[in-house]
């Protein structure tokens, strides 16, 4: 049975897949093997989102998806890594939203506070 911290999908827009790989490497201080990073009992993979829709404002249809899967990591480690990925993306000026069972433990509610569905442009960056 899956547990609360087993998986998180991060959806990003405003960057290429290669830029997303660089973002993961910098945020986690880990070298990736292609598009996959192994870090402290976690596997992080950068993908082109198979659900990408070019004209969609809904984040599940954004072009880049980063999958974070817990292996042996503690829940606190999972939250820390996902938080670093989100904040690194925001600092770089990209839109990023996390979809997981622990969004309430992430900065800005996993990005939902920064991204308001149905608003013009889809994204609001607070100061």
Kindly report the CATH number assigned to the domain that includes residue 15. 3.30.70
CA distance 81 to 95: 17
Q: Note down the domain range covering 90.
A: 7-111
Residue 119 lies in a domain: no
Residues 6+ apart with CB under 8 A from 80: none
Tell me if the pTM is above 0.85.
Answer: yes
Residues 6+ apart with CB under 8 A from 124: 114, 115, 116
Tens of pLDDT along 47-75? Answer: 999 999 998 889 999 999 999 999 999 99
3-state SS, one letter per residue, for 70-85: ECCCCHHHHHHHHHHH
Structural domain total, the chain: 1
| Rounded alpha-carbon distances, angstroms, from residue 40 to 3, 6, 68, 77 | 18, 14, 12, 8
Tell me which residue of 17, 19, 21, 16 sits closest to 31, measured CA to CA: 21
Residue 121 lies in a domain: no
Residue 45 lies in a domain: yes
CA distance 30 to 36: 10
pLDDT by residue for the chain (127 residues), tens digit each?
569 999 999 999 999 999 999 999 999 999 999 999 999 899 999 999 999 999 888 999 999 999 999 999 999 999 999 999 999 999 999 999 999 999 999 999 999 877 665 443 444 333 3
Residue 19 lies in a domain: yes
Residue 123 lies in a domain: no
Residue 1 lies in a domain: no
């Amino acid at each position: 049975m899956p547990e609360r911290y087993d998986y998180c999908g991060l959806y990003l827009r405003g960057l290429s897949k290669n830029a997303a790989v660089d973002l993961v490497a910098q945020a986690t201080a880990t070298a990736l093997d292609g598009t996959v990073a192994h870090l402290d009992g976690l596997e992080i993979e950068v993908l082109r989102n198979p659900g990408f829709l070019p004209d969609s404002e809904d984040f599940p249809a954004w072009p880049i998806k980063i999958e974070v899967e817990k292996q042996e990591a503690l829940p606190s480690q999972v939250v820390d890594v996902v938080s670093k990925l989100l904040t690194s993306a925001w600092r770089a000026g990209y839109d990023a939203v996390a979809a997981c069972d622990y969004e309430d433990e992430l900065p800005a509610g996993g990005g939902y506070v920064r991204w308001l569905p149905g608003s013009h442009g889809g994204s609001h960056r607070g100061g």
